[in-house]
Structure 1
């Protein structure tokens, strides 16, 4: 009887689809990630359920949209009692591991935008005890010298190496390891000891932390340890290996800082390329030209060409480190004799504007730069060097992985398996829903933005709650989304059809769990 396949799921943070060599990037070299695509299928039309970290990661694990699983925006919590596809794998005999960033609950003591922690604690909720239904994971748990033991299973994971936050100041188990292995750790994390550089890009920081002590290196080494430890085990494994980069701050360590030059890049889609910018785009432009500040370090902003090119060069450096790390993990998988029985996936939780229309980071404007992400599926039993234009969503990953393992999803899963598309067939979707909910009011919105998009192979239709304007883009003739056809007289029938289809998707956002067990 053939052994069930292992799964190695590699995921980055805030990487747009076209920032890989195998996706056609003209400058960035990613030979190791490209090798995964060479052994499998590259998906060219894969979209997030939400272009924000926490909601989309929860959708990945649950196969449910943010409005249903409850982690609606960053700062919320995926309840401890939420079922995940990792639970299903573990119950079926898989050994499950999370190595790196998980981000299914907050790991800071900072209050949400415009709110006070005391007021939040004193406000009753619609459901009783909801704030108690979460894992007790707080930053202070990692302040001791002894390794903090996370309560497992943690969202289905039996083994957890936790890395929180971004850049060179990550927390969790990495922080404990860093303090133990870097005797001068306080000096290395002192901003006064930043290495000299001439970059003016916001959040460009030349860290003194060497490559071997940087979070990417830690995650690489823990993943290799795990893969090697599983080599002589009978039970198959599912390993979720999650890198916090290339998310800002822009701080690639060591040789990766100047591996790429800003002169290597160009801003090919400036603000002027958009024919009729939406109100938030105009608001961001005004803020940029008038010296306005970001609401938070994670809030979308506009920058000048040189600063964007600097951010691109540093992002490329971070990606180069990730690619090298993945190469080492793949070598370990092969050397341990497990490559030929392991399905390898490569993905990102969301993208980055990264210069499109002079914008940076992410936000309420669901351009393809932040909703379209890389996804590669390499299967020992599947085709090699193929690509698929099947429209897929993050919510489909749970159903697809379980399908490959010969298992069924739990009741309430909203995704559709696209396993046939990994074998060259068509995918199950003709449309994908993308949700965005903000935790605070920014980008000129009077209230926190509530945004819903419907993506088809031909169109992107977006509506903003309580706004008289919306977005409609012809992806066939305008793939860069430079002309909003919302008010075009010639496209009113298309707008009406997509509006109706979006309504059907929104009607479907009802939790089917728990199912009825009686007639009445």
Structure 2
């Protein structure tokens, strides 16, 4: 019998913010139980720490340089082959509930590359189709007729944007539940709060009740799909994608003050390092009162802001955990648990006060680039895999577990042998690509960088500057001592730069090679 798949993904979660990854403050009992009865990865890293590109890498098993989604605002081509599409072609029922973010969510048309002036014609051919299906403007006031299958999902109910101000199918569902729902949503309707993050629009105390919050909607609609699948014989892949715990933080009801800022400990790296130039620039901006705190980008935060962010982040995570518990209970009640592989992961991490930073940006600290990855299945061995893995490895692993052949051009490797206690060789290093949109850090152009995560070291190089970063992950797990200019580590630095180059050369796009048409 072919297995079913129930995959939970959350938006922007530091792996260290889960009990099963060693956190003793946050309460995540349902996720922790998944880890206790399944296989857990300690060292899974993103292909890029940016939302749309890494979600596209998850769906395709391909690096951003191969699938073309270099940064947010560039949609995944509708011609892209995704692993849900391959599952669907093999007879699986496929469904997406929640955040997709494979197309741009803003009211703007898909963006050109920020380094290239707009010309009369782009150098790439554009695949025909509707690239405004996740745009808020498309959904304003009505339900938008999505084109199905959507990147391989035969059924799709999407949530667009962040916080409690979510559009798409969620807003239609909420309006059906309550006629005056619009008076509950958003910062302008929030309950009073004295949080500093509330003053800059990065948190608000929502009026939306727990049962009607976007996280509860994802759980409810996922449970409904499970009940429908229980009445059919076809195997399924069900993708439950929570828009939280992404900022702005809006945990509802009792989850807003479940954790008090004054009780939250600052990360160990908050005061312990000599910052590299771009981090020093962010701190100077803060100390001069010029920190830009109202966007999606990272900034150097005060102690109070960090404690608030951690408390509210934990509240959102605990609420997600409670809703995951609802879904897992429904899986059991429907008699599907014994033949369903349950997966939990995140699209990328976040700083959470690490090195005085909040949110995410072009500094590849572990808190940002490492994601949780749990695989709970009846045949999964209950161990922790310490070898290096990448986001692009998830797609081929799911396909192998389903008995479906991966497509040509898929660059990830299956880690199913590790799960099933068969001979397995993890990666000798992970390549991380980043093509930024923003010009900041004192740079003259948008940040462009590559990182190599080695079993012992992390190396990051930046386009247009002479300096870089090198950290000994064994002796300096907090990544506080930059060894880039260390004479004693010059040989190691040069060897890692060469390995990074070889990793880049090992990830060419073969999707249009002669093998594809042989």
TM-score w.r.t. length of structure 1:
0.94
In the other structure, the counterpart of 2:401 is: 404
Does residue 1:214 correspond to 2:213, yes or no?
Answer: yes
In the other structure, the counterpart of 1:126 is: 123
Pick closer, same or farther for the CA change 1:166–1:475 going to 2, 3 Å.
same
In the other structure, the counterpart of 1:423 is: 420
Q: Which residues in structure 2 correspond to 1:473-492 (within 5 Å)?
A: 473-492=471-490
Q: Secondary structure at the match of 1:49?
A: coil
Q: Deviation of residue 190 (structure 1)? A: 5.6
Does residue 1:159 correspond to 2:155, yes or no?
Answer: yes
Does residue 1:175 correspond to 2:177, yes or no?
Answer: no
In the other structure, the counterpart of 2:57 is: 59
In the other structure, the counterpart of 2:358 is: 360
1:398-419, Cα deviation, whole Å (9 max, x unpaired): 1111111112210001001111
Pick closer, same or farther for the CA change 1:436–1:115 going to 2, 3 Å.
closer
Give the aligned CA root-mean-square deviation in angstroms. Answer: 2.0
Pick closer, same or farther for the CA change 1:426–1:283 going to 2, 3 Å.
same
In the other structure, the counterpart of 1:86 is: 84
- Tell me if the contact between 2:75 and 2:110 (Cα under 8 Å) persists in the aligned partners: no
2:73 corresponds, among 68, 72, 75, to 75
Quote the Cα distance in structure 2 between the aligned partners of 1:517 and 1:97: 31
Q: Which residues in structure 2 correspond to 1:66-465 (within 5 Å)?
A: 66-110=64-108, 123-129=120-126, 132-137=128-133, 138-145=135-142, 147-189=143-185, 191-201=187-197, 202=200, 203-275=202-274, 277-294=275-292, 297-384=295-382, 386-424=383-421, 426-465=424-463
1:440-469, Cα deviation, whole Å (9 max, x unpaired): 212222111111011111110111012100
- Tell me if the contact between 1:396 and 1:415 (Cα under 8 Å) persists in the aligned partners: yes
Pick closer, same or farther for the CA change 1:302–1:519 going to 2, 3 Å.
closer
Quote the Cα distance in structure 2 between the aligned partners of 1:362 and 1:422: 31
Pick closer, same or farther for the CA change 1:44–1:465 going to 2, 3 Å.
same
Quote the Cα distance in structure 2 between the aligned partners of 1:151 and 1:133: 9
Pick closer, same or farther for the CA change 1:243–1:485 going to 2, 3 Å.
same
After TM superposition, the structure 1 stretch with the greater mean CA deviation from structure 2, 185-194 or 330-339, is 185-194
Pick closer, same or farther for the CA change 1:6–1:517 going to 2, 3 Å.
closer
Q: Deviation of residue 295 (structure 1)? A: 7.8
Q: Deviation of residue 110 (structure 1)? A: 3.7
Q: Deviation of residue 473 (structure 1)? A: 0.6
- The unaligned stretches of length 5 or more in structure 2 are none
After TM superposition, the structure 1 stretch with the greater mean CA deviation from structure 2, 136-145 or 214-223, is 136-145
Q: Secondary structure at the match of 1:27?
A: coil
Quote the Cα distance in structure 2 between the aligned partners of 1:264 and 1:198: 16
Quote the Cα distance in structure 2 between the aligned partners of 1:246 and 1:308: 15
After TM superposition, the structure 1 stretch with the greater mean CA deviation from structure 2, 91-100 or 185-194, is 185-194
Q: Deviation of residue 248 (structure 1)? A: 0.2
Pick closer, same or farther for the CA change 1:492–1:153 going to 2, 3 Å.
same
Q: Deviation of residue 111 (structure 1)? A: 6.8
Q: Secondary structure at the match of 1:272?
A: coil
Q: Deviation of residue 123 (structure 1)? A: 3.8
- Tell me if the contact between 1:204 and 1:251 (Cα under 8 Å) persists in the aligned partners: yes
Quote the Cα distance in structure 2 between the aligned partners of 1:513 and 1:133: 21
Pick closer, same or farther for the CA change 1:180–1:5 going to 2, 3 Å.
same
Q: Deviation of residue 42 (structure 1)? A: 1.3
Q: Secondary structure at the match of 2:80?
A: coil
- Tell me if the contact between 1:390 and 1:426 (Cα under 8 Å) persists in the aligned partners: no
TM-score w.r.t. length of structure 2:
0.95
Q: Secondary structure at the match of 1:496?
A: helix
Q: Deviation of residue 380 (structure 1)? A: 1.2
Quote the Cα distance in structure 1 between the aligned partners of 2:72 and 2:129: 17
1:97-154, Cα deviation, whole Å (9 max, x unpaired): 11100100102114789999xx85x642002345x45544133432344x43311111
- Tell me if the contact between 1:269 and 1:358 (Cα under 8 Å) persists in the aligned partners: no
Q: Secondary structure at the match of 1:273?
A: coil
Quote the Cα distance in structure 2 between the aligned partners of 1:43 and 1:135: 34
Quote the Cα distance in structure 1 between the aligned partners of 2:176 and 2:516: 57
1:450-498, Cα deviation, whole Å (9 max, x unpaired): 1101111111011101210011110111111010100111111111111
- Tell me if the contact between 1:96 and 1:159 (Cα under 8 Å) persists in the aligned partners: yes
Quote the Cα distance in structure 1 between the aligned partners of 2:222 and 2:193: 32
- The unaligned stretches of length 5 or more in structure 1 are none
Quote the Cα distance in structure 2 between the aligned partners of 1:190 and 1:5: 40
Q: Deviation of residue 506 (structure 1)? A: 1.6
